[in-house]
């Protein structure tokens, strides 16, 4: 059976922890074979630009002994009318796995439906599972098991927030989200998580969300593809400042998937301050994705 990595809600905690352990083994140089993917090729489709996703996947694949083919917006025939299904069938004859970064979740699902090799979700407008795997790894490296902890989100209820909600249902932590009323997280994802028993709190009050939290997270106010929307006026009260962090636990962590717009969603004093683990978080994209690549390709 082809092992796709599409969204966290397709997995159980045991499987996700297996991927995280594999990634940590490579990070700690404990892996028996440091280059187990020799001769394997990953195709990376970018319908949205990327720094961290591209470099971490490319570096990770090459460090594992494999190689990559990068396909930008003008490098495939998708924009000229070739169907996603046909692209999936053709790429499956050439490469061992496909990573796609796209705005459209349906395109990800169609690619996986027709590909005979593993497909990895490098980001959609709805979810960003590779990022949250790196985030879980980072929190646990600094503070131990995330189960039972309180994680607070302040800002737009975007794809990163949606995936944190999915993670709360799987890893057993409380997720509090402070979002403007007009920019909430995905209602279906919240309903799924609550049905799984997750404690999900949604409020418009960032101080209430952050109170006593073990980790505080935010993201850019304007994600790629939403530049035409005037969101700043709604999101200014949700900026993570030193005064907002004062409501969290004294040893709370601050995370941001980057790029950060300093002076908008986060102040210099927070992202450069004692709470911040954003550079470890960025590094862990490399290690978490090695674990994901190994899980996908071990079954191939």
Instruction: Considering the candidates 130, 179, 257, 296, report the single residue annotated as catalytic.
Output: 257
Q: Is 128 a catalytic residue?
A: yes
As a whole number of angstroms, the distance between CA 226 and CA 202 comes to: 22
Nearest to 56 by CA among 26, 80, 84: 26
Q: Is 143 a catalytic residue?
A: no
Would you state the torsion angle of the CA atoms of residues 205, 211, 213, 218, taken in this order, to the nearest 10 degrees?
Answer: 30
Instruction: Considering the candidates 285, 287, 289, 296, report the single residue annotated as catalytic.
Output: 285
Q: Is 109 a catalytic residue?
A: no
Instruction: Considering the candidates 22, 40, 52, 128, report the single residue annotated as catalytic.
Output: 128
Instruction: Considering the candidates 22, 40, 101, 231, report the single residue annotated as catalytic.
Output: 101
The pairs formed by 68-74 with CB atoms below 8 angstroms and a separation of 24 or more are 68/41, 68/42, 68/43, 68/44, 69/41, 69/42, 69/43, 69/44, 69/94, 69/95, 70/44, 70/46, 71/43, 71/44, 71/45, 71/46, 72/46, 73/46, 73/47
Q: Is 130 a catalytic residue?
A: no
Q: Is 179 a catalytic residue?
A: no
Q: Which residues contact 263 (CB under 8 A, 6 or more apart)?
A: none
Instruction: Considering the candidates 4, 9, 52, 131, report the single residue annotated as catalytic.
Output: 131
Residue 115: phi and psi, rounded to 5, are -85, 140
Q: Which residues contact 138 (CB under 8 A, 6 or more apart)?
A: 253, 255, 277, 280, 281, 284
Q: Is 257 a catalytic residue?
A: yes
Instruction: Considering the candidates 219, 231, 256, 289, report the single residue annotated as catalytic.
Output: 219
Residues labelled catalytic: 101, 128, 131, 219, 257, 285
């Amino acid at each position: 059976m082809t092992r796709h990595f599409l969204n966290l809600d397709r997995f159980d905690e045991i499987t996700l922890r297996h991927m995280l352990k594999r990634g940590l083994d490579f990070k700690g140089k404990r892996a028996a074979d440091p280059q187990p993917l020799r001769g394997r090729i990953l195709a990376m489709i970018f319908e949205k630009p990327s720094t961290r996703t591209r470099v971490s996947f490319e570096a990770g694949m090459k460090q594992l002994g494999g190689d990559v083919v990068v396909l930008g917006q003008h490098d495939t025939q998708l924009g000229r009318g070739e169907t996603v299904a046909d692209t999936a069938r053709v790429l499956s004859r050439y490469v061992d796995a496909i990573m796609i970064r796209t705005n459209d979740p349906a395109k990800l699902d169609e690619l996986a439906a027709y590909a005979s090799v593993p497909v990895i979700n490098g980001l959609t407008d709805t979810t960003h599972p590779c990022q949250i795997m790196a985030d879980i790894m980072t929190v646990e490296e600094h503070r131990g098991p995330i189960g039972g902890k309180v994680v607070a989100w302040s800002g737009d209820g975007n794809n990163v927030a949606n995936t944190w909600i999915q993670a709360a249902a799987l890893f057993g932590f409380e997720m509090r989200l402070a979002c403007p009323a007009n920019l909430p997280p995905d209602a279906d994802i919240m309903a799924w998580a609550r049905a799984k028993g997750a404690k999900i709190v949604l409020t418009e009050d960032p101080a209430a969300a952050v109170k006593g939290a073990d980790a505080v997270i935010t993201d850019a106010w304007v994600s790629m593809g939403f530049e035409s929307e005037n969101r700043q006026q709604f999101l200014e009260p949700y900026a993570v400042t030193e005064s907002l962090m004062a409501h969290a636990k004294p040893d709370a962590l601050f995370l941001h998937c980057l790029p950060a717009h300093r002076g908008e969603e986060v102040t210099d004093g927070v992202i450069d301050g004692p709470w911040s683990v954003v550079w470890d978080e960025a590094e862990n994209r490399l290690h978490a994705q090695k674990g994901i690549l190994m899980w996908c390709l071990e079954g191939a």
